[in-house]
A and B are shown apart, each in its own frame.
Chain A
Amino acid sequence: MRASLRRIWGLVYRHLALYRRSWPRLLELMYWPVLQMLVWGFVTAYLAGVQQNMGSVAAGMLLGGVLLWEVALRSQMGFAITFLEEIWSRNLGHVFVSPLRPGELVAGLVAMATLRMLVGVLPAVGLAWLLYGFGLFSLGPVVVLFFAALMMMGWAVALGVTAMILRHGAGAEPLAWSVLFGLTPFACVFYPLSTLPAPLQWVAQAIPAAHVFEGMRAALLQGRVDLWHLGAAFALDVVWLALLGRVFLGQFEAARRSGALLSIGE
């Protein structure tokens, strides 16, 4: 167990060392979440003015949606890009012939994804409070659960993306940036699930984020914790993590058989 934790720390240390001396990389982590928050902050300020301050709840839903959706986005990208960093630095060969197990590789990527997400999203959360008076954490401790459910969803999607990179090599790299944006319409970030046409509601029901945002709206509009949606989000997270974790491990073994691990960056 101790040796396993040390190997995971080895991978995390390698990436922390990279960020420690690269302020542009650190800045890049915060750039998009802060930019998104600023744009949507001004939109909500405008809407609140047009509606003679009747839009303050709507403003909260928009800003809360933006900030929480960034949690999922940054978690997914953090995981996938940390893996890609190993490919770009041509270091993956050394990593794969070291005693680091695939599960430990995933644990290291999860740890880095969490750190990257916190560095990216927390400044945006702070700015939303400073500039617009929107305190995400004023929703209560349930926000931590929202964060956790969205992070888990991000990791699950990233496991699928990484499996695709193992199978298709560099050609699948753009998925690391794009795949979660494709799920945005079904994640119901800015509107209730009931807004979607009936067939698409079935798709949305299978996405953990849709339940998190239903829960967020319940907390904002009614001041209550919607346990059903919260439970559904975590249950779906577990299912997706188990499913896509198997896909990742299956693809890892397939890459060992096909020789793809030797040519993954090409």
Chain B
Amino acid sequence: MTPDAAIQAEGLTKRYGETTAVDSLRFTLPRGATWGLLGGNGAGKSTTIAMLLGILVPSEGRVTVLGHDMARNRFAALVRMNFSSPYVALPHRLTVAENLRVYAHLYDVPRAEARIAELAETLQLEEILHRRAGQLSAGQKTRVALAKALVNRPELLLLDEPTASLDPDTGDWVRSWLERYREESGCAILLASHNMAEVERLCGHVLMMKRGRLVAEGSPAELVTRFGRDNLEDVFLDIARDRRALGETTA
């Protein structure tokens, strides 16, 4: 086990009957780093994140998060990490403050009210703190979801498409905020996204998945050079369409 790893995945595999959703995934996310997890629909990103969160048990392999084996001691890791996804909602009938209070209790956050006030200030939630979550715009919901994900000051943050369905201005605000937060907190981030510009901006390293397998990895610049392209989006399309990197031969 690598001592300074936020996540260490070793031979991570998930099979559903005859279908292999994730196949022998192996990577080590260092503490404090921001990595991207990319791939088309059905590539295995969500399955991978579910296994990293301990909500899904791998068929084979092992995940260690912040030094804790997720098969044996997942709750010790879960209290130090958090997760945000636009596809998992917060209760719509509760106010923003009530929602954050619920998660402050679930994560046993000390001085919960002070933490909620702090998050409300940094994420510009003060004016909507007493509005129901169901009455918020997509941008406001994203900020609330981020506040929920940060309520326990996580050492590891798993973000599933954090800017999906946001307008460019709000998306940019979220990306700037995440950059600043990473620098200030030293939190490791694993970001699953379909927005290649976002990944190029935020991530120092990218894992490219296809049909459950890790097919390419490296920094965005390395991948762009390796595939002889101008940007990560073209690299993504090359991989999705089975085109090879420069110098690579077909098996």
Contacts and interface: CB of A to CB of B under 8 A. Distances in A.
A14 B97 CA distance: 11
User: Which range contains the number of B residues in contact with the other chain?
Assistant: 20 to 34
B98 interface: yes
A99 B106 contact: yes
Interface string A70-110: 00000000000000000001110111111111000000000
Nearest to B52: A97
Interface string B92-119: 1111001001111111100000000000
Contacts, number: 89
B53 A259 contact: no
Nearest to B50: A262
A16 B119 CA distance: 24
Nearest to A17: B98
B91 interface: yes
A12 to B, nearest CB: 9
Interface stretch (B26-34, B75-83, B171-179): B75-83
Interface of A is mostly: helix
Interface string B15-50: 010000000000000000000000000000011001
A93 B55 contact: yes
A98 B103 contact: yes
A93 B98 CA distance: 18
B104 to A, nearest CB: 8
Contact of B91 (A3, A6, A91): A91
B56 A99 contact: no
B50 A259 contact: yes
B90 interface: yes
B55 A14 contact: no
Contacts of A256: 54-57
A257 to B, nearest CB: 5
User: Which range contains the number of A residues in contact with the other chain?
Assistant: 20 to 34
B79 A18 contact: no
A24 to B, nearest CB: 12
A100 B106 contact: yes
A220 interface: no
Contacts of B148: 94
Contacts of A21: 93
A261 interface: yes
Nearest to A22: B93
Contacts of A96: 55
Contact of B108 (A6, A13, A17, A259): A6
Contacts of B53: 97
A259 B106 contact: no
B83 to A, nearest CB: 5
B54 A18 contact: no
A211 interface: no
Given A89-B91, A91-B91, A257-B57, A7 B78 contact: no
A93 B88 contact: yes
Contact of B88 (A3, A94, A253, A258): A94
Given A21-B93, A90-B88, A91-B88, A261 B55 contact: yes
Interface of B: 14, 16, 46-47, 50, 53-57, 75, 78-79, 83, 85, 87-95, 98, 101-108, 148
10 contacts: A13-B98, A89-B89, A89-B90, A91-B89, A93-B87, A94-B88, A97-B78, A97-B83, A98-B78, A253-B57
Sorted nearest first, the 5 A-B pairs with minimum C-beta distance are: A10-B105, A93-B88, A90-B89, A10-B106, A99-B79
